[in-house]
Structure 1
Amino acid sequence: MSDEKAARLAAIRAANAAKRGIAAQPSTMAERVSAPSEDLVQTASARRETPAAEALSEIRRAPSQPQRASESDSFADMPPAMAFQTFIGIVLAAILGAFAAIVALPTWLPGLSASLLGAEPKAYWYLSRSSAFVAYILLWLSMVFGLLMTNKLARVWPGGPTAFDLHQHTSLLGLAFALFHALILLGDRYIQATLTQVLVPFQYSGYEPFWVGLGQLGFYGLAIVGLSFYVKERIGRRAWRLLHFLSFVVFALALLHGIWSGSDSQGDLARVIYWGSGGSVLFLTVYRVLVSLARPKKEGRVQAS
């Protein structure tokens, strides 16, 4: 296990232990904060040697605050799973890939000219539709892993730190594929969309402009949620969590965009994808709400006993 993943795992375990300690022994925890034990003092230098120990030390200092430590707070304290430089590289790869398909491929592969530049070009449309499905599935996976974390089902599979990594990676990769999905349409001479029509919501006046506009809004919403991983230290934990609620709106917009503007939405495969993804997100969302409602009652019974 790498030091980074070990740090995440240690942070989550320490937060859970702190939560149980505060609920069961508040006076004992206060004594530990005010008077650190000799063992902690003796091992302080050793804990500073690894990232996992540093993260654990930070979480151990959290019980001095009056608010209750929660599992979502421990995830909010974790560093981004994907380095910002890596994310920028992926975005640039999507842009350059679209540019290569539009400009370079007809020159390098003249045999594709009939499909790329002919009277009824279809290659760019196929590239756009395939990348759209990939982007949508990645967005769906990001929603699933995020809900698994907040529902605490990630403890069963695939584990808290792994779910957090997958949640962020799928979100950012989905954003890159969504960008490619939009830019590749610039090469389709049948649609004849301009860069402004592709990037500015509701500026496209061709096929299903309203549903296309909703998809464009969903793309920018996904960008806001994805980039929030890198600015949560500046905007604060509360604002970061509120921004993440935007994910539900983004998913709904992407689903409506795919159903109503997709040319193959009536196909069996597309129906399976849309019904399966929408149904699973709805189920996990309802389960999350029920768990949130049941938690205060459980905590009240524990305090009463």
Structure 2
Amino acid sequence: MHPPSERTTPAPQPATPQSTRAPRITLRADLRASWVDGLIAVVITAGLFALIWARITSGASSTATVMPFMAEDPRAFWLYFLSQAFGWSALLWAWGTVLLGLLLSGRRPSWLRISATRLERLHRTTSLNTMILIAAHALLFAAELIRFDDDSWPAATWTAFVEAFVPGGYQSGTGRIAIPVGQAALYLAIPLGLLFYVRHRIGPKTWRVMHRFVIVVYVLSVWHTLLYGTNVWYDGWFRTTIWLLQIPVALLLLARLMRPARRSERLPAVSAASSKPLWGVRLTGRVAAAGVVAALLAVVLSGHDGGRQQPPEDTSSSHEHD
């Protein structure tokens, strides 16, 4: 008889280490997650529309001063007022997403209890909704142009497209400057915002450099509003509120420039590792940001920003749009 074979047990396999890489962030996932933020934006836009409507009907809005025919029959211009409301909510969301981005670009304040992950996701969703709100503002403006065009539908649509979306296509009054400024904000916001989702292809360093130009989009948006927002013309407190909101953005931007999150971007490190021209460029940026903060404080304290101070004597023939 053969001896019974020994029963062997398989050698224990080494545990496979689980990947510590975070799940890849996709545009589709962020769009799904942005519905709460988008719903809040819709509610805010509805509230702004109600405020604009109330100010028009009461005669308190500067829009009624610039275009009195709108106050005579506000129901005929509801689409225009809705475009204004979307424009204001787009500016508000742009302000919020810029603040979130600046908070994420360095050490977070101790009083901010939200985690970095949630803050980053909120920044992405508010950024996506900002793009949507800006596009809605422009589309509603184009729809308003179509409504009051007596040409055929194809001709009116083409004219509205040129005036609303082609730089230089709008040739009336202040819009000759203000409309291209707004178009520049729209056409820069979309690619700069979406570059995040292809940063693995263009490289993180390239993405960081390009993403910093988002602040230019915000400046263009504020400039467009002050130039073409007829409901802030001649209005002291309404216009001053816009300037007050810029102070935290300017201060936080200055703080980030003075002490960047990456040590390699701080002035002593740049001076030691790079050429003098690059050091000079970074120093100039910090000085310019400090100058902007000082200018903002001067504007708010003085109440004068160089805008329209007194309404013209006769505005009955004025047909400005924002």
Does TM, scored on the shorter chain, surpass 0.5? yes
Per-residue CA deviation, residues 253-296 of structure 1 (Å, 9 max, x unaligned), is 00100001111123356424421332111111000011129956
What's the offset of the Cα at 1:84?
6.5
Aligned-pair identity (%):
22
Give the direction of change, closer, same or farther, for the CA distance of 1:262–1:163 in structure 2 (3 Å limit): same
What's the offset of the Cα at 1:153?
1.7
Give the direction of change, closer, same or farther, for the CA distance of 1:226–1:155 in structure 2 (3 Å limit): farther
Q: Kindly indicate whether structure 1 or structure 2 has the higher relative contact order, using CA contacts under 8 Å at least 6 residues apart.
A: 2
Give the unaligned 5+ runs of structure 1.
1-40, 56-76, 95-114, 301-305
Q: Which of structures 1 and 2 has the bigger CA Rg? A: 2
Equivalents in 2 of 1:228, 1:181: separation in Å? 22
Equivalents in 1 of 2:197, 2:267: separation in Å? 35
Q: How does 1:265-276 map to 2 (within 5 A)?
A: 265-266=232-233, 267-268=235-236, 270-276=238-244
| Superposition TM-score, scaled by structure 2 size | 0.56
Q: Which of 96, 100, 104 is 1:149 aligned to? A: 104
Per-residue CA deviation, residues 220-243 of structure 1 (Å, 9 max, x unaligned), is 111011111221111111111112
Give the direction of change, closer, same or farther, for the CA distance of 1:273–1:144 in structure 2 (3 Å limit): same
Q: Which of 256, 277, 289 is 2:257 aligned to? A: 289
What's the offset of the Cα at 1:299?
9.8
What's the offset of the Cα at 1:151?
2.2
Equivalents in 1 of 2:224, 2:14: separation in Å? 59
Contact 1:80 / 1:229 at 8 angstroms: preserved in 2? Answer: no
In structure 2, the partner of 1:67 is: none
In structure 2, the partner of 1:216 is: 183
What's the offset of the Cα at 1:123?
0.6
Give the unaligned 5+ runs of structure 2.
1-12, 43-69, 150-158, 270-322
**Secondary structure, aligned partner of 1:79:** coil
* Correspondence 1:79 to 2:47: no
Equivalents in 1 of 2:120, 2:34: separation in Å? 20
Contact 1:151 / 1:287 at 8 angstroms: preserved in 2? Answer: no
Q: How many residues align?
A: 209
Q: Which of 211, 214, 222 is 1:247 aligned to? A: 214
**Secondary structure, aligned partner of 1:152:** coil
In structure 2, the partner of 1:110 is: none
Equivalents in 1 of 2:252, 2:28: separation in Å? 25
In structure 2, the partner of 1:131 is: 86
Give the direction of change, closer, same or farther, for the CA distance of 1:270–1:231 in structure 2 (3 Å limit): farther
Q: Which has the higher helix share?
A: 1
Equivalents in 2 of 1:293, 1:149: separation in Å? 9
What's the offset of the Cα at 1:80?
4.3
In structure 2, the partner of 1:204 is: 170
In structure 1, the partner of 2:306 is: none
